[in-house]
Amino acid sequence: MKPNLEDMITAIEESAKSPTKNPPIYILKPSKKLQARKLFDDALKNMFVNYFSGHSPLKDIDKSIYNTELLLSEFDEYLALYRLLCFAWEKITEEFKGITISASSPGEALIFILSDRKQDYWENTENLPNSKAAYLLYCQLKKCDNFVNSEGEIDNPKEREKLYKLGKRCGIDFNYSRPSESSIFLQLVLKICKASKNKTITRAAQDYENIWHENISNSMKYIRRKNFRI
């Protein structure tokens, strides 16, 4: 599947509705921080309109409002994620065959991840267990949440036993440290893609992971630099 503008615009607009998703406020100049959410989303949408029209992403972006270097880094991360989902979608759905995931297309997956993901909880993907088993465990944990009594115990023996067996199979327990659903989904997607024999998919996965780590590193450096000046 090929990336398209409509999917990206929809993903940005839907993620703006999420109460847990906030823009990196340091991208904006101090006088504009109260308008951070709308300005951030408007800039990204305009950048993708430019990109899909064959122009520079920063065409007509107001440099008096934004730190354009950091804004462009965010643009690159969004685009790298969407490309990965498009390139690898057949492989992803094949790996998750037989279980229900929260997206039926790359565009829906992009919306799901951008709306729900909390970057602070994104973790290294190297030590994850079998992708399908891990996602089944996560889904079972959500199901068991409906059977927890006032003492914090799962009251349904059948569902409790399923949870125990899946946890034992995976060798992990998300009860102690449970990331958002989209975070675990993204981790598993990356694991699937990095193990692929298709070089386009493995390269796209590595590109996204590199961009994500670089953005986090640059963000921390920028914030520390600003704090040291105060």
Give the pLDDT score at 120. Answer: 44
Per-domain residue ranges of the chain: 5-122+200-229, 124-178
Give the pLDDT score at 167. Answer: 78
Residue 171 and residue 91: Cα distance in Å, rounded? 25
pTM of the shown model: 0.79
SS3 state at 198? coil
Structure-model confidence comparison of residues 87 and 226, the more confident one: 87
- Other C-beta atoms closer than 10 Å to the C-beta of 37 total 13
For residue 66, which phi and psi values (nearest 5 degrees)?
-115, 150
Lowest mean pLDDT among 9-13, 68-72, 76-80, 178-182: 178-182
Residue 213 and residue 77: Cα distance in Å, rounded? 10
The one-character DSSP state at 154 is: B
CB 52 within 8 A of CB 7: no
Residue 200 and residue 45: Cα distance in Å, rounded? 26
Residue 55 pLDDT class (50, 70, 90 cuts): very high
Single out the residue of 197, 199, 200, 179 nearest to residue 128, CA to CA.
Answer: 179
Residue 54 pLDDT class (50, 70, 90 cuts): very high
pLDDT digits (tens, 9 = 90+) for 115-143: 875 544 444 445 555 667 777 887 888 88
